[in-house]
């Protein structure tokens, strides 16, 4: 007995019970889970817009590189949101009850993995810069994390290519299971490296400069949101789901949420900066070498602009002061006498 659709806009069409059950199962495991992730990402996209509006109002004067990062992230997030909505509309409205369309991909959902990897790379470039400003030894960690993110982008591009050539969802899941898992794992490891470095830097900064007025909420926000730890946890969950349930789009739904959390974290860190007068000021001294006072001033200004943990230097900087005293004596039988003295290097104690 066929299932009649009389009384609906699809009157006159019938679907066999076996086909209907298979279609319902496929939709619930794929696009049904995907649309739940889309709903959650739309809520988070609204938070992104609020954070972006706050940044535009508070930081009209900022470095060009940071402004460019903010603009690129918001444009990519808007395109990402539009692609997610289009995919849901294609399967649930334009091709509702179409068993053939339900088993095939559409261009918007096929390009989403690459778009997500680009957003992750751009957002995490900001955190990699923060890590590199903690100290010279952290620059290697920042470079390592950035290389992992580039590798994740390459795998995402391969996933998009395979999805475009796959003839059905089942073939796509079989062909790209290892690509999906490895791509998400690379991004998760990069998150862990950057978050761990920032957490260690914040602990050292708070140990050197205690903040007695901080509440528990401030501490949780500092370590969970400011460090990018929350995005790393969600991304790790997406990687685990891709390994456990590769044929279900639970990992894709979590990825939609994780991408929006990247942008929210990025904008939240920027908006948490104070009104620092030194932001945008750089001092150059090409005649000096090493970490002198001029280089220290440049470093502190960069730390403030990128909201990196202010870790105290292991060795206090010094200023070499030389004072020359000259005395001239005029008189009968006396010539001009010149003497000079110099002071030793004085340690500079930062306030």
Longest distance between any two alpha carbons in the chain, whole Å: 133
Question: What integer pLDDT is reported at residue 306 of this predicted model?
Answer: 57
Phi, psi of 60 (to 5 degrees): -70, -25
Chain Cα centroid distance, residue 87 = 25
Per mean pLDDT, which range of 47-51, 220-224, 314-318, 320-324 is the poorest? 314-318
Q: Any idea what DSSP says for residue 8?
A: S
Residue 282 has pLDDT above 50, yes or no: no
Per-residue pLDDT at 144 exceeds 90: yes
DSSP symbol at 312: P
- Asked if residue 344 has pLDDT above 50, the reply is no
pLDDT band at 294 (very low <50, low <70, confident <90, very high): very low
Give 14 or 106, the one with higher predicted confidence: 106
Q: pLDDT-based confidence at 346, cuts 50/70/90?
A: very low
More confident residue, 323 or 198: 198
- Which is nearest to 256 in space by CA: 51, 31, 103, 95? 31
- Record the tokens describing residue 159, joined without a space: 């996933």
DSSP-assigned states of every residue in 39-99: HHHHHHHHHHHHHHHHHHHH-SS--HHHHHHHHHHHHHHHHHHHHHHHHHHIIIIITTT-H
Task: Using pLDDT thresholds of 50, 70 and 90, give the confidence band for residue 324.
Answer: low
How many other CB atoms sit within 10 Å of the CB of residue 320?
10
- Whether the predicted pLDDT of 351 surpasses 50: no
3-state helix, strand, coil in the chain (%, to 5): 65, 5, 30
């Amino acid at each position: 007995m066929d299932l009649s659709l009389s009384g609906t806009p699809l009157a006159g069409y019938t679907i066999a019970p076996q086909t209907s059950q298979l279609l319902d199962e496929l939709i619930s495991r794929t696009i049904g889970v995907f649309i739940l992730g889309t709903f959650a990402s739309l809520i988070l996209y609204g938070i992104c817009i609020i954070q972006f509006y706050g940044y535009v109002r508070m930081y009209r004067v900022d470095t060009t590189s940071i402004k460019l990062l903010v603009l690129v992230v918001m444009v990519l997030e808007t395109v990402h949101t539009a692609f997610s909505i289009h995919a849901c509309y294609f399967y649930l409205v334009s091709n509702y009850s179409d068993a053939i369309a339900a088993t095939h991909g559409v261009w918007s959902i096929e390009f989403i993995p690459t778009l997500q990897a680009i957003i992750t790379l751009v957002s995490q470039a900001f955190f990699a810069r923060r890590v590199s400003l903690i100290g010279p030894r952290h620059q290697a960690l920042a470079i390592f994390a950035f290389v992992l993110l580039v590798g994740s982008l390459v795998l995402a591009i391969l996933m998009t290519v395979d999805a475009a050539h796959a003839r059905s969802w089942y073939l796509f899941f079989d062909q790209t299971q290892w690509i999906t898992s490895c791509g998400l794992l690379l991004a998760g490891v990069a998150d862990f490296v950057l978050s761990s470095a920032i957490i260690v830097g914040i602990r050292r900064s708070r140990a050197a400069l205690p903040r007695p007025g901080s509440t528990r909420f401030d501490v949780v926000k500092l370590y969970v949101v400011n460090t990018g730890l929350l995005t790393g946890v969600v991304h790790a969950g997406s990687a685990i789901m891709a390994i456990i349930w590769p044929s279900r789009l639970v990992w894709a739904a979590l990825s939609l949420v994780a991408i929006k959390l990247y942008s929210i974290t990025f904008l939240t860190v920027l908006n948490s900066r104070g009104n620092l007068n030194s932001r945008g000021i750089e001092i150059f001294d090409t005649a000096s070498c090493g970490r002198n006072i001029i280089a220290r001033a440049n470093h502190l200004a960069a730390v403030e602009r990128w909201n990196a943990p202010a870790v105290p230097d292991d060795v206090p900087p010094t200023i070499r002061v030389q004072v020359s005293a000259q005395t001239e004596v005029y008189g009968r039988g006396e010539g001009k006498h010149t003497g000079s003295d110099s002071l030793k290097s004085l340690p500079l104690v930062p306030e």
